[in-house]
Amino acid sequence: MSARYFGAAVTRVEDPRLLTGRGRYVDDMEFPGLLHAAFVRANVAHGRIRSVDTSDARGMPGVVAIYTMADFASIAQGPMPPMAPHPLLPTPITYHPLAVEEVRHVGEAIAIVLAADRARAEDAAAAVMLDIEELPAVADAVLAAKAGAPRADSRRPSNIAATMKAGFADCGAVFANADHVLTESFDIHRGGCHSMECRGVVASVDPHSDVLTLSTSSQSPYMVRRHLASYLNRDESQLHVMTPDVGGGFGPKANVYPEEFAVALAALKTGRPVKWIEDRQEHFVATTQQRGQVWTLDVAFDNDGRMRAIRGHCVHDNGAYAPYGLILPATALASFPGPYALEALDLTVDVVLTNLVPTSPVRGACRPNAAFVLERLADRIARHLGIDRDEVRRRSFVRAEQMPYLTGMKARDGSPISYDSGDYIAALDLVLDKVDAAGFEARRAAAAERGKLLGLGIASCVEDTGLGPFEGASVRVTPAGKVIVSTGASSQGQGHRTAFAQIAADALGVELNDVTVETADTAKFPLGISTIASRIAVTAGSSVELAAQKVRAKAIAFASHKLEVSEEDLELEGGAVRVKGVAGLNVSLSEIARTLAGNAGMGLPGGMDPDLAATAYFNSTALTFAYGANACEVEIDPETGDVRVVRYVVVHDCGKLINPLIVDGQIRGGVVHGIGNALFERMIHDEAGQPLTTTYADYFLPLASEMPSIEVHHIETPSPRNPIGVKGAGEGGTIPAAACVISAVEDALGADAPFIHLHPISPQQVMKWIEASGSQSQEVAGTP
Amino acid sequence: MKPPPFQYHRPQTREELGALLANLDNVKILAGGQSLMPMLNLRVVAPDHLIDINRIPELAGIRETTDGIEIGAMTRQADILASPIIRDRLPLLARALEHVGHIQTRSRGTIGGSCCHLDPSAEQPAICAALDAEFVAIGPKGRRVIAAADWFQGMLQSALDDLEFLEAVRFKPWAKGHGYGFAEYARRHGDFAISGAAALLEADGGGSITRAALLVFGVEEAPRRLSEAEAALVGQNIGEIALAPILDAARALHPMEDVQVTADYRRHLAGTLLGRAVREACVSREQRQ
């Protein structure tokens, strides 16, 4: 049967509910006797806790209890389990649910206050007297990596938590015979994720069953269950975790957080439901951040612009804890060599502890960092040789006929990384065509007439997606003939319900609105991992397809038996199995489901198994590689240094599109994230680790008014590595975007301007570059 | 981000408001709330009493008077922006209001609230300074009219005393067909500006400038009129303004500095933006003749 929904730009089934205020988020959950939590948080970046005096605060109106970690000793104690243990971190660096002895960043939770409402809880939190002996803090990873720097964690001998290496072949030999070698340093700044909904969790204990239930705004409810069960020494059957509607995740909500544990402990201790809703100020100091890295790289290349080898070093700002192990720096390394067919690579990353909020993956997860340095190096080579930037790429990219291409690198599990399919040069050609690169110089000249500097930027990327091992799905037909899809994959607004329903509806010949999708409730589906790494379409999407096909086969077998017609002559259409070409000869899914639901004393027809349902776990054993080529134009006001992105064009290949509308939205949102990284978002700390940008008046999250319209064009190269031919699409917009914008800014500033090695850039920095390059227009006296 | 405890009052008349101010200590007046509510939620202010003046109808409205225009302190920015009277007679105010926040915040934010809060980067008090507005205050002794030159007492500090409230702002419009210009630079639309500038010009039939106002804001603690440069403009021909001394005047100021923006950059912007405002004023005067 041909696909009716798969590939169609179906409007999202989630939207009418979410857009009319009928979404149900953690904060919408009410319980009798609910207590509201606020946290007492560290006000210094590094210090030894001498005492926490709650005596005044405990007596304040509405306050029910104030706990520190010591108060939970009878329930659980010790540091939280690591989410991703790593041999290079034999001693995990994880939080306690509430800080014990030492605090290591501003915002670390020390005590939990429970009160009748949040305002009273905050009043009391402000009245808790903290006596903290301030210890030397280090807020800069490069300084922290130096000998003699203050130690971010007093227990550890060095701030360098781990040194990771990656590479292949003999760099020395390639550098020795390359025509050119250049060295550049890059400084990529730290920023946040800033999902519209902050984090939040509500915990309650059923007094009859003793089941602890958490509703949490998380990308990883099953990880919360796994690690909290282990911490509490409970069987997983006694812990029920679900995610209601979640207003964005973008990576940080994949972590299991101290607040989730502390709220659970408080509910167990009091026996009452406890809710904590992170406010935006807390989000700035307690939700993981990302991207702080300083790279120094040598690149070897030939006279024709072919990039041949890269070697170098990275200082990775890990922050104060490593709840997610070394996933983030490992991802930075695994993102090389990007689209470039390098002969050799030799990289080292020092993972450095600082007294700042921990870093963990944020949309792109260090892939944008790798794309930034690779694309900047390609631009640098072009500039050095005086050839076009696209020529460097054309001569250096992996070519279509090399697919599948072994990059030389290894995946997380040690298997060789092999790009599955794609044509990176075709994508570059297409984006240059779509942006009308040929007409750019005329546009630049026209802008100059208006006193503006116009620049064209390009950037490409390859993105590993579909990270294994699995997300499962079950598909079940109810006696009414409706279809229930259930999966452990949590959703943060990506449109999973629509996409999965499209897949199931096609397989079962029903309408989209006959399908209900349930996500991420440990009571409804037994296993799940995380919605991360652009993996859900590949893993859960494939599982929905496999489970739905099993149900389809069962329905056909049933109908074949009942109608005494060969299976080949049957098809699913209109909610029934029918005989091809014979009107009226059919069996409805409803009848099959009712029959297979069983009747007392009656056998099932044809000796079939009960229930018109199936479960599947697609085991994603090899990554799928999406890729993209971007081009953009920026306009600079040479009198203010203002940079405005005026055009942005994306060519993206994520294999088969389940729903182009959803993919386009993912790409556009991703580009906005990248433009924010390039031009706006800067998380500033002073030398003592105090954050200085903790409101949106100071931290410039981009607004729609500053964004260009973003054109998206697709190439569809089906992935051979899963049954539906898809690759991930959640991060491909972000990965090359900062590199693309910076490439355009540098182009606008002209050949005499300095090479740009950092982001975000500010207008005053741009003014300095303009002054340095002499491209400032002269102020003219008189009227225009 | 919940406010500390306070007692809430909602007077219905100016008299009730005056009585509350006379009898209560540690008071904050809630106008449109676009600055005060975040400040409360961030706990940077902790008043014992919050007096909500949104239900005093006499405090809102735009009136043409015999010698000008009076805008009630509680008039919403969106209503000022939509007013044909303002567009016709105080076009600089309308021009600047387009840069104030967003449509949602302008629907709540008031001119009086902004003029009493006095953020150095706020557009409305800056325009009041450019137009030599008068601030009508009501206190225990009755009404008091405060000239714009006296209104600004420093960072976030107006000339109101603790027992007074702002009733209205009075403007004397410039001659019909005057030139006006406004320019500001903010990282995102609707943000408080890093710097901004405004210019007003009148000229005679031969194009000789007869009156000028030049102002920069967001640079020092309060909006700054450049009176020497204004005086130097009078008598110049509007088609041949010597712009360089004006820019020099803007760049001779002592700008504020913060973690994002250096004084040098603010100084540079002040000159650039004032130049743009003056050019725009020249063009608008020509178009409005």
Rounded to whole angstroms, how far apart are CA atoms A769 and A754? 7
Q: In what order do the strands lie in the sheet with A129-134?
A: A102-103, A47-53, A129-134
pLDDT grade, residue A410 (50/70/90)?
Answer: confident
pLDDT grade, residue A775 (50/70/90)?
Answer: low
CB contact under 8 A, B272 and A639: yes
Rounded to whole angstroms, how far apart are CA atoms A531 and A492? 8
- A133: enclosing H helix or E strand: strand A129-134
pLDDT grade, residue A778 (50/70/90)?
Answer: very low
Look at residues A328, A330, A319 and name the one whose alpha carbon lies nearest to residue A352: A319
- Contact with chain B for residue A704, Cβ under 8 A: no
- What does DSSP assign to residue A490? -
Q: What is the pLDDT of residues A562-597, one digit of tens each?
A: 999 999 999 999 999 999 999 889 999 999 999 999
- Contact with chain B for residue A779, Cβ under 8 A: yes
Which residues of chain A neighbour B42 with C-beta distances below 8 Å? Answer: 281, 695
Q: What is the pLDDT of residues B41-99, one digit of tens each?
A: 999 999 999 999 999 999 999 999 999 999 999 999 999 999 999 999 999 999 999 99
CB contact under 8 A, A640 and B185: yes
pLDDT grade, residue A413 (50/70/90)?
Answer: confident
| Averaged pLDDT, A200-217 | 97
What pLDDT sits at residue B198?
A: 98
Q: What's the ipTM?
A: 0.96
pLDDT surpassing 90 at residue A412: no
Spans in chain B with pLDDT lower than 50: none
User: Cα-atom radius of gyration of chain A, to the nearest Å?
Assistant: 28
CB contact under 8 A, A783 and B260: no
What pLDDT sits at residue A772?
A: 85
Which residues of chain B neighbour A781 with C-beta distances below 8 Å? Answer: 241-244
CB contact under 8 A, A639 and B261: no
**Helices A660-675, A737-749: crossing angle, 10 deg rounding:** 50
Which residues of chain A neighbour B267 with C-beta distances below 8 Å? Answer: none
pLDDT surpassing 90 at residue A197: yes
- What does DSSP assign to residue B135? E
CA distances from A543 to A43, A535, A618, A620 (A): 47, 12, 5, 10
Phi/psi of residue A360, nearest 5 degrees: -155, 170
| Averaged pLDDT, A401-406 | 96
CB contact under 8 A, A126 and B185: no
- Contact with chain A for residue B240, Cβ under 8 A: yes
Rounded to whole angstroms, how far apart are CA atoms B274 and B213? 11
pLDDT surpassing 70 at residue A94: yes
Q: Which of A684, A700, A780 sits opposite B259 (nearest CB)?
A: A684
What pLDDT sits at residue A750?
A: 94
For testing contact with chain B, the best of A764, A765, A769, A780 (most B CBs within 10 A): A764
3-state helix, strand, coil in chain A (%, to 5): 30, 25, 45
pLDDT surpassing 60 at residue A182: yes
Phi/psi of residue A112, nearest 5 degrees: -115, 130
Which listed CATH number (2.40.10.10, 2.40.110.10, 3.30.390.50, 3.30.750.24) goes with B179-287? 3.30.390.50
Which tokens in the block code for residue A468?
């294994």
Structure-token match 């210019």, residue found: B199
Rounded to whole angstroms, how far apart are CA atoms B181 and B200? 7
Which residues of chain B neighbour A126 with C-beta distances below 8 Å? Answer: 4, 43
What pLDDT sits at residue A779?
A: 41
User: Cα-atom radius of gyration of chain B, to the nearest Å?
Assistant: 19
Which tokens in the block code for residue A189?
């700044």
**Beta-bridge mates of residue A134:** A47
Q: Position A294: which residue type? A: V
Rounded to whole angstroms, how far apart are CA atoms A529 and A574? 35
CB contact under 8 A, A763 and B265: yes
CB contact under 8 A, A706 and B188: yes
What pLDDT sits at residue B251?
A: 85
pLDDT grade, residue A783 (50/70/90)?
Answer: very low
Which residues of chain A neighbour B265 with C-beta distances below 8 Å? Answer: 641, 763-764, 767
Q: Do A311 and A345 meet the contact criterion of CB atoms below 8 Å apart?
A: yes
CB contact under 8 A, A700 and B42: no
Considering only alpha carbons, which residue of chain B is nearest residue A283? B1
Q: What fold, for A418-463+624-784?
A: Aldehyde Oxidoreductase; domain 4 (3.30.365)
Beta strand pairing call for A63-67 and A35-41? unpaired
Which residues of chain A neighbour B239 with C-beta distances below 8 Å? Answer: 782-783
Considering only alpha carbons, which residue of chain B is nearest residue A118? B2
- Contact with chain B for residue A280, Cβ under 8 A: yes
At A704 the three-state DSSP class reads helix
| Averaged pLDDT, A610-624 | 95
Rounded to whole angstroms, how far apart are CA atoms A499 and B207? 67
What pLDDT sits at residue A784?
A: 34
**Beta-bridge mates of residue A360:** none
Q: Which of B238, B243, B259 sits opposite A692 (nearest CB)?
A: B259
- Contact with chain A for residue B282, Cβ under 8 A: yes
Which tokens in the block code for residue A191?
């920023």
| Averaged pLDDT, A741-769 | 96
- Contact with chain A for residue B268, Cβ under 8 A: yes
pLDDT surpassing 80 at residue A776: no
Rounded to whole angstroms, how far apart are CA atoms B136 and B143? 7
Considering only alpha carbons, which residue of chain A is nearest residue B196? A640
Structure-token match 């007096």, residue found: B51
Q: Which of A123, A697, A703 sits opposite B4 (nearest CB)?
A: A123
Distance from CA of A762 to the nearest CA of B (A): 9
Q: What is the pLDDT of residues A28-72, one digit of tens each?
A: 999 999 999 999 999 999 999 999 999 999 999 999 999 999 999
What pLDDT sits at residue B209?
A: 97
CB contact under 8 A, A763 and B185: yes
Distance from CA of B89 to the nearest CA of A (A): 24
Q: Which of A280, A639, A783 sits opposite B1 (nearest CB)?
A: A280
Distance from CA of A123 to the nearest CA of B (A): 6
Phi/psi of residue B79, nearest 5 degrees: -70, -35
- Contact with chain A for residue B260, Cβ under 8 A: yes
- Architecture category of domain B1-51+61-173 in CATH: 2-Layer Sandwich (3.30)
- Please provide the DSSP assignment of A540-603 as one string: IIHHHHHHHHHHHHHHHHHHHHHHT--GGGEEEETTEEEETT-TT-EEEHHHHHHHHT-BTTBP
Q: Which of A639, A698, A764 sits opposite B262 (nearest CB)?
A: A764
**Beta-bridge mates of residue A352:** A160, A317
Distance from CA of B103 to the nearest CA of A (A): 12
CB contact under 8 A, A782 and B247: no
What pLDDT sits at residue B288?
A: 84
Cβ neighbours of residue A568 closer than 8 Å, sequence gap 6 or more = none
Distance from CA of B219 to the nearest CA of A (A): 15
Distance from CA of B138 to the nearest CA of A (A): 33
Structure-token match 């499209």, residue found: A502
Structure-token match 């991992």, residue found: A529
Look at residues A488, A485, A490 and name the one whose alpha carbon lies nearest to residue A548: A485
- Contact with chain B for residue A703, Cβ under 8 A: yes
Rounded to whole angstroms, how far apart are CA atoms B36 and B26? 14
Q: What is the pLDDT of residues A209-255, one digit of tens each?
A: 999 999 999 999 999 999 999 999 999 999 999 999 999 999 999 99
pLDDT grade, residue A411 (50/70/90)?
Answer: confident
Q: What is the pLDDT of residues A312-337, one digit of tens each?
A: 999 999 999 999 999 999 999 999 99
Domain boundaries, chain B: 1-51+61-173, 179-287
Considering only alpha carbons, which residue of chain A is nearest residue B286? A783
For testing contact with chain A, the best of B238, B240, B241, B265 (most A CBs within 10 A): B265
Across the A:B interface, residue pairs with CB atoms under 8 Å apart total 83
Cβ neighbours of residue A364 closer than 8 Å, sequence gap 6 or more = A670, A673, A674, A731, A734, A735
Domain A15-20+468-617 has CATH 3.40.50.20: no
What pLDDT sits at residue B289?
A: 82
Considering only alpha carbons, which residue of chain A is nearest residue B40? A119
For testing contact with chain B, the best of A36, A43, A120, A640 (most B CBs within 10 A): A640
CB contact under 8 A, A782 and B243: yes
Structure-token match 């043409």, residue found: B64
For testing contact with chain A, the best of B50, B104, B236, B272 (most A CBs within 10 A): B272
CB contact under 8 A, B189 and A703: yes
What pLDDT sits at residue B171?
A: 98
Rounded to whole angstroms, how far apart are CA atoms A759 and A780? 32
Q: Which of A118, A692, A700 sits opposite B188 (nearest CB)?
A: A700
Taking a contact as any Cβ pair under 8 Å apart, which residues of chain B between 166 and 205 contact chain A? 185, 187-192
Domain boundaries, chain A: 15-20+468-617, 418-463+624-784
| Averaged pLDDT, A453-460 | 98
Beta strand pairing call for A35-41 and A274-277? parallel
- Contact with chain A for residue B28, Cβ under 8 A: no
Within its chain, how far is the Cα of A632 from the centroid? 23
HSE of A560 in the Cβ direction (CA atoms, 13 Å)? 14
Q: Which of B185, B189, B244 sits opposite A781 (nearest CB)?
A: B244
Which tokens in the block code for residue B84?
């044909």
Rounded to whole angstroms, how far apart are CA atoms B249 and A415? 67
